[in-house]
A and B are shown apart, each in its own frame.
Chain A
């Protein structure tokens, strides 16, 4: 079985632009969570979606938004990019909200 997949793997944007990151969960997993990991730090929780509804939100500005589709895949959108948004964005899926999360390889975003 395929694990969690994310696209693109790398992305370069300039300040003020918008970006969309995509995540496909493990087959059968209904929960998807998004994390931001700045170099040298642990991941920071952004969102959790379960059954297509937002179930949790971290301490991130409204420039960050996400959604989950009927097939449980998910997109993370970031508007008005700032230099500080440069990070590895991780997606994790799980069977349920309290189950072990399995991480994808991440999307590395660089904002210039």
Chain B
């Protein structure tokens, strides 16, 4: 069964600090992995997308890494801002399917003063 697990479930950090969110998956055969940011009550917004051959991808203060061998990904947020407070969802796509995406349950990040 395809699964995506994220940790921690929630996180509180001070503004300006860095943090790293984790994603482990068992989706096979692997196609790509995406990180989305979702504000409360809003639709998810894509941050990064990585295929099998990509180890890292950055989008501003967000840097995602992928280890396809261990089936792990991380999202690193640098110099956090209050506006980073949101849920971060790891989404994995299996190759050869009708684009059924497997979503993690997300990490809820709160950035405080």
Residues of A that sit less than 8 Å from B by CB:
4, 31, 33, 35, 40-45, 48, 55-56, 58, 88, 90, 92, 94, 97-98, 100-106, 108
B residues in contact with A58, CB < 8 Å: 100
| Interchain Cβ contacts within 8 Å, total number | 57
25 A-B pairs whose Cβ atoms sit less than 8 Å apart in the complex: A31-B99, A40-B105, A42-B89, A42-B104, A44-B103, A45-B100, A48-B99, A55-B98, A55-B99, A56-B97, A56-B98, A94-B99, A98-B31, A98-B93, A98-B99, A100-B34, A100-B46, A101-B99, A101-B101, A103-B36, A105-B42, A105-B43, A106-B41, A106-B42, A108-B41
A97 to B101, CA, bound (A): 11
A29 to B45, CA, bound (A): 17
Q: Which of B42, B98, B106 has its CB near the most chain A CB atoms (within 10 A)?
A: B98
A58 to B103, CA, bound (A): 13
